[in-house]
């Protein structure tokens, strides 16, 4: 189930949705473009498009993107985005994250746990690796994906979400959302976000 | 209008139409077709049967079919029967003709039901578009509502940017449709050499225009449904 909805503030300010997501046989993935970048959805969508083909590594893709956007200003405006990827082995869910967001864990009794990643920190955007350290106040030594491994014997399903999920979790509609999430009622969640859009200020992407 | 239709509760609206849980979409297109079954339409029974089936097939085979709910209303004598908004597969293509023409009542009830369900869906977070179409040879002969009352409902639909279309069988119907302020009027001329072909063309235009109307995002044209 994949949901990607524009946030209310983006609508109000005439911005594009800067999130993107996809799911295929290999990966479930969401990207969340940095709101300070003028067009960060461009990089997020290009990255997602290329990764979804299962032909290129993450380094390959950022290499291509940095060829398209070679200057520091280009990177800042187009390539700053969080990446959260779920893949599976026979026994594990493997979650690779560079930046911030949420891991959503569904246990076998259908209880849901939300693990916030990168709370309180400046997001670690992978594109910082393609910028001269002179332009960076943090992460001058580069950034890496952090891997989280979750056991299939403990969790029925694992997904990821962009940090916009916090607006749902802190809203009066958290229980309604969770009921639909457990039932994988994609359109009911979409309609909930439409119906109460003013609560959901940031773009929201969820894949599980 | 309370004497024609009681105000419906939310449960009634869900029960009469398609329940929210049965809609696998966040976008829906409501198509209201009101069909005159008065006696004066008797010469068109065979063609109406055939063309309603074609209309149903055209909508059912369109890629927008899953995002479309269709209500069929019929009117004759003092009877106005308007079904709920259902998937196109449930569209009843049977046609019969007898009695008088309660055209204004049909418009008032049909428009009221359309706006009620549209409001309900919007309140649930659905993106809703709609089309309102009438097939009739006019003139009204048995309504409790007046022309001005029916016109008020059509004008309300127009103000909500819901395309309003009148497929008019003859000159009387053209006059009615014009007085009622329908945005789009298509004439079926019974004096043409091949009126069956003209009716077929009308249904064809309606189905294509309906599909086009519901599939174009952000369409801000003049509101005329018939563009082909």
Q: What is the pLDDT of residues B189-202, one digit of tens each?
A: 766 667 677 778 87
Report the distance separating Cα A173 and Cα A192, nearest Å.
8
The residue among B67, B64, B164 whose CA lies nearest residue B114 is: B164
**Residue B19 sits at the chain A interface (C-beta within 8 Å):** no
**Residue A179 sits at the chain B interface (C-beta within 8 Å):** no
Whether A188 sits inside 8 A of B126 (CB atoms) is no
A58: Cβ contacts below 8 Å, ≥ 6 apart: A51, A83, A126, A145
For residue A190, what is the nearest residue in chain B, using CA coordinates?
B26
The residue among B219, B203, B224, B214 whose CA lies nearest residue B33 is: B203
For residue A204, which residues of chain B lie inside 8 Å, CB to CB?
none
Radius of gyration from C-alpha coordinates of chain B? 16
The stretch B73-102 carries a mean pLDDT of 93
Q: In which band, very low, low, confident or very high, does the pLDDT at B1 lie, cut at 50, 70 and 90?
A: very low
For residue A5, what is the nearest residue in chain B, using CA coordinates?
B26
Q: Which two tokens stand for residue B130?
A: 């709609």
The answer to whether residues B37 and B97 touch, using CB atoms and an 8 Å cutoff, is: yes
For residue A183, what is the nearest residue in chain B, using CA coordinates?
B21
Whether B26 sits inside 8 A of A195 (CB atoms) is no
Q: How confident is the model at residue B214, as a pLDDT?
A: 62
Q: What percent of chain A has pLDDT over 90?
A: 89
Whether B126 sits inside 8 A of A194 (CB atoms) is yes
| pLDDT at residue B216 is higher than 60 | no
Q: What is the pLDDT of residues A90-109, one digit of tens each?
A: 999 999 999 999 999 999 99
Report the distance separating Cα B41 and Cα B76, nearest Å.
10
The stretch B115-135 carries a mean pLDDT of 94
**Residue whose pair of structure tokens reads 């943090």 in the numeric block:** A138
pTM: 0.84
H or E, element range at A114:
strand A112-117
Q: Are strands B184-188 and B164-169 parallel, antiparallel or unpaired?
A: parallel
Q: What are phi and psi of B19, to 5 degrees?
A: -70, 150
The residue among B71, B3, B4, B60 whose CA lies nearest residue B34 is: B71
For residue B124, what is the nearest residue in chain A, using CA coordinates?
A195
Helix-, strand-, coil-residue percentages of chain B, each rounded to 5:
45, 20, 35
Q: Is A173 left (phi over 0), alpha (psi -120 to 50) or beta?
A: alpha
DSSP secondary structure string, B99-139?
S---HHHHHHHHHHHHHHHHHHHHHTT-EEEEEEEEEE---
Whether B123 sits inside 8 A of A195 (CB atoms) is yes
Instruction: Among A176, A185, A194, pick the best mutation site for testing chain B contact (most B Cβ within 10 A).
Output: A194
Provide the CA A153 distance to its chain's centre, in angstroms. Answer: 25
The stretch B81-92 carries a mean pLDDT of 94
Cβ atoms within 10 Å, residue B71: 22
Report the distance separating Cα B87 and Cα B82, nearest Å.
15
CATH numbers and ranges of domains, chain B: 10-216+223-227 (3.40.50.410)
Q: What is the pLDDT of residues A124-182, one digit of tens each?
A: 999 999 999 998 888 899 999 999 999 999 999 999 999 999 999 999 999 999 999 99
Radius of gyration from C-alpha coordinates of chain A? 17
The stretch B98-115 carries a mean pLDDT of 96
Q: How confident is the model at residue B228, as a pLDDT?
A: 44
| pLDDT at residue B219 is higher than 50 | no
**Residue A195 sits at the chain B interface (C-beta within 8 Å):** yes
**Residue A191 sits at the chain B interface (C-beta within 8 Å):** yes
The stretch B50-77 carries a mean pLDDT of 90
| pLDDT at residue B35 is higher than 80 | yes
Whether A187 sits inside 8 A of B25 (CB atoms) is yes
Q: Is the dihedral of CA B201, B206, B209, B215 positive or negative?
A: negative
What three-state secondary structure class fits B141? Answer: coil
DSSP secondary structure string, A9-44?
HHHHTTPPP-EEEEE-SS-EEEEEE-TTSTTHHHHH
Report the distance separating Cα B138 and Cα B181, nearest Å.
14
**Residue B24 sits at the chain A interface (C-beta within 8 Å):** yes
State the complex-level ipTM.
0.78
Q: How confident is the model at residue A91, as a pLDDT?
A: 97
Q: How confident is the model at residue B224, as a pLDDT?
A: 60
Instruction: Among B26, B122, B124, B127, pick the best mutation site for testing chain A contact (most A Cβ within 10 A).
Output: B26
| pLDDT at residue B205 is higher than 70 | yes
Beta-bridged to residue B33, according to DSSP, are B72, B133
For residue A176, which residues of chain B lie inside 8 Å, CB to CB?
none
């Amino acid at each position: 189930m994949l949901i990607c909805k524009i946030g209310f503030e983006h609508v109000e300010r005439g911005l594009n949705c800067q999130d993107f997501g996809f799911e295929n046989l290999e990966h479930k993935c969401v990207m969340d473009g940095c709101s300070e970048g003028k067009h960060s959805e461009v990089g997020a969508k290009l990255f997602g498009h290329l990764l979804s083909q299962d032909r290129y590594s993450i380094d390959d893709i950022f290499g291509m993107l940095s060829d398209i956007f070679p200057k520091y200003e280009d990177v800042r405006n187009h390539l700053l985005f969080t990446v959260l990827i779920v893949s599976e082995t026979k026994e594990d869910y493997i979650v690779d994250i560079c930046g911030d967001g949420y891991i959503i864990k569904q246990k076998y009794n259908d209880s849901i746990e939300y693990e916030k990643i990168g709370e309180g920190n400046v997001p670690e955007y992978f594109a910082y690796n393609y910028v001269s350290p002179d332009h960076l106040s943090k992460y001058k030594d580069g950034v890496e994906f952090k891997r989280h491994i979750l056991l299939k014997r403990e969790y029925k399903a694992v997904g990821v979400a962009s940090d916009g999920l916090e607006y749902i979790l802190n809203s009066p509609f958290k229980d309604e959302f969770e009921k639909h999430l457990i039932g994988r009622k994609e359109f009911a969640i979409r309609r909930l976000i439409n119906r109460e859009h003013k609560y959901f200020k940031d773009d929201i992407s969820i894949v599980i | 209008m309370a004497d024609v239709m009681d105000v419906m509760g939310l449960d009634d609206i869900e029960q009469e139409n398609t329940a929210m849980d049965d809609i696998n979409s966040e976008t829906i297109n409501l198509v209201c077709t009101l069909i005159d079954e008065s006696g004066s339409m008797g010469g068109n029974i065979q063609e109406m049967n055939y063309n309603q089936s074609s209309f149903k097939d055209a909508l059912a085979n369109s890629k927008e079919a899953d995002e479309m709910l269709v209500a069929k209303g019929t009117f004759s004598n003092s009877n106005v029967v308007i079904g709920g908004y259902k998937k196109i597969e449930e569209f009843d293509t049977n046609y019969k003709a007898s009695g008088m023409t309660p055209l204004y009542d049909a418009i008032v009830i049909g428009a009221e039901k359309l706006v009620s369900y549209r409001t309900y869906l919007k309140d649930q977070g659905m993106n809703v578009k709609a089309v309102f179409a009438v097939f009739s040879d006019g003139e009204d002969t048995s309504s409790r509502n007046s022309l001005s009352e029916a016109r008020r409902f059509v004008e309300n639909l127009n103000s909500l940017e819901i395309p309003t279309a009148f497929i008019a069988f003859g000159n009387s119907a053209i006059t009615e449709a014009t007085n009622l302020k329908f945005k789009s009027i298509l004439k079926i001329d019974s004096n043409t050499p091949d009126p069956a072909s003209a009716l077929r063309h009308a249904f064809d235009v309606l189905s294509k225009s309906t599909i086009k109307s519901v599939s174009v995002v952000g369409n801000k044209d003049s509101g005329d449904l018939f563009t082909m």
